[in-house]
Amino acid sequence: MVTTTSTQSCNSESWFLDTGCSNHMTENKVSLREVYPGRNTKVKLLDHRTLTAKGMGKISIEGKNGKIAINEDVLYVPGMQWNLLSVGQLIRKGYSVIMKDNSLKLFDKTQRLILKTPLAKNMTFQNNIKTVELNCLSAIIKDEDSWLWHYRFGHLNFRGLNQLVDKEMILGVPKIEIPRIVCDTCLIGKQPRNAFSSSTTHGSKELMNVVCSDVCGPLKVPSLGGNKYFISFLDDFSRKIWLYLIKAKSEAFDMFQKFKILVEKQSGKSIKILRTDGGGGYTSKVIEKFCEDNVIVHEVTAPYTPQHNGLAERRNRSMFDMTISILKMKKMLNKFLGEVVRTATYILNRCPTKKLDQIREEIWLGSKQTDKHL
């Protein structure tokens, strides 16, 4: 909840953000909940008078969206003329404050803007807020929490987020409420072409039975490492994705060799079928000889029929949708696209799929995963 208010008058609903006071304070006991009367703290005023705090409580606050949250550790001080919000107390709880351009902005631990108030004519920062509108200072509103996880999962749709929670596919994600509004960034970053029907079937019975691969590029702007392409590998059984940035298509074979060694050691199984679209990275005789020597069937789809390698194409589409959404939302330069697409791959491996009741990473590793680190 972002609050910008006028400071023309002061009343019982006026709260001043004060860098000098040590605690949140109010004399309005009616607005406090769960007041503990045993907290008798001395409060020294600027004119050397001393008041006694008769307790400490909480304020129930209702945001503009109707959600309720709590602002804790508010001193009840009879005789206080104004309500004070302690900037120091907020900072100690993990908030940050920026005073710039004649305004004060308060940010939470995730750097989301929580409160903004202009500098008044008397050089104070005052918010005229009803006691039911301040609670976002101590609790994340449920709706905002849903948006936060939407962003953490690279703009994954809310149906997918709820699937993660309801089916306990991953640990660390709270219950998600579907917002009433649509994400503007998703509308920009996920505009599709018309769908085409699948022409191949996918029914692998074990890991590494079929590996789909595709080379994408060139990127309009090289990545920070100077890479213009990326190559993806997808296991048909687990749907897990591996992605590598490369400078040219000619590096595809070298990357496939590294990928083969990695996944076969991790899974204990050998790649049986390699499915590609016949692009420039997979047409050399060296690759054909390598597949023959390692008893790998190299399936090459017909030209100009990406639906024959639809699994890899759809995953690339999902990665690009997520990548563009992240770039657009954070207004990042295109030179970060290579790094962001790797992040998107990491996130997708922890997202649900329509065909599976487990996330890709769990199927591949054989153990339940957590996303608390996100």
Which are the catalytic amino acids?
Answer: 18
Phi, psi dihedral angles at 353 (to 5 degrees): -125, 160
Cβ pair 133, 3 in contact under 8 A = yes
Please tell me the distance from the alpha carbon of residue 71 to that of residue 59, in angstroms, as a whole number: 5
Which residues contact residue 40 at a Cβ distance below 8 angstroms, ignoring those fewer than 6 apart? 52, 53, 54
Phi, psi dihedral angles at 108 (to 5 degrees): -85, -170
Please tell me the distance from the alpha carbon of residue 49 to that of residue 77, in angstroms, as a whole number: 13
Closest to 133 (Cα-Cα) out of 179, 189, 186, 69? 69
Please tell me the distance from the alpha carbon of residue 132 to that of residue 70, in angstroms, as a whole number: 9
